[in-house]
Copies of this chain bind each other. A is one copy, B any other.
């Protein structure tokens, strides 16, 4: 047994209530560093890696691909989301939703790319989503003058959503393709 674990168990065994309180107080005073392996497990268990197709009337192609990573917790545990944010150098934002749940979200290709490149190799359940989103991010510049390429990436976004068990998505590749056909933006 590692000495630190043994020590924790022994102190807990000797004075369980006091030890328990000490742990809590200590962790509130100086929160233990979270670390990337832990965060990978937390993301697999509780987080979400997404790529949404969002309508944007001011865009040439009328749609945007929005990539994101998010974590939610009851607002009473919002402090932990803030701690994660801090350990990630302050990236992303934490907001309180009206339903008593708080959300820490990293949005946008730069920050999401930065985060996923570090964590993707450590994921188990959401590894596919991570690499699909990284692929979308990497290829986004190629969509600027190519509706066809944009549709390619939309199919990857559809795939991410399927892996996430998402339902009731309005904006799918099919919707975008039909809009592109109406707008006649694609080569015949």
Residue positions of A touching B, CB distance < 8 A: 4-5, 8-9, 12-13, 16-17, 19-20, 23-24, 27, 31-32, 34-35, 37-47, 73-74, 77, 80, 83, 117-118, 120-122, 124-125, 127-128, 131-132, 134-135, 138-139, 165
Q: Say whether, besides A5-B117, A42-B42, A117-B9, A127 and B24 are in contact (CB < 8 Å).
A: yes
| Contact with A23, one of B39, B46, B74, B131 (Cβ below 8 angstroms) | B131
- Contact check, A8 vs B120: say whether CB atoms are below 8 A apart: yes
The docked-state distance in angstroms from the alpha carbon of A124 to that of B127 is 23
Tell me whether chain A's interface is mostly helix, strand or loop, or mixed.
helix
- Contact check, A117 vs B12: say whether CB atoms are below 8 A apart: yes
| Contact with A46, one of B20, B34, B46, B120 (Cβ below 8 angstroms) | B46
Q: How many copies does the complex hold?
A: 2
Tell me how far the C-beta of A83 lies from the nearest C-beta in chain B, rounded to whole angstroms. 8
Task: Give the residues in chain B near A9, CB-CB below 8 Å.
Answer: 117, 134
Task: Give the residues in chain B near A128, CB-CB below 8 Å.
Answer: 20, 23-24
Which 8 A-B residue pairs are closest in the complex by CB-CB distance?
A45-B45, A41-B41, A45-B46, A41-B42, A16-B135, A37-B37, A38-B41, A20-B131
- Contact check, A20 vs B125: say whether CB atoms are below 8 A apart: no
Q: Say whether, besides A5-B121, A117-B5, A74 and B165 are in contact (CB < 8 Å).
A: yes
The docked-state distance in angstroms from the alpha carbon of A138 to that of B135 is 50
Task: Give the residues in chain B near A132, CB-CB below 8 Å.
Answer: 20
| Contact with A45, one of B16, B24, B44, B120 (Cβ below 8 angstroms) | B44
- Contact check, B131 vs A19: say whether CB atoms are below 8 A apart: yes
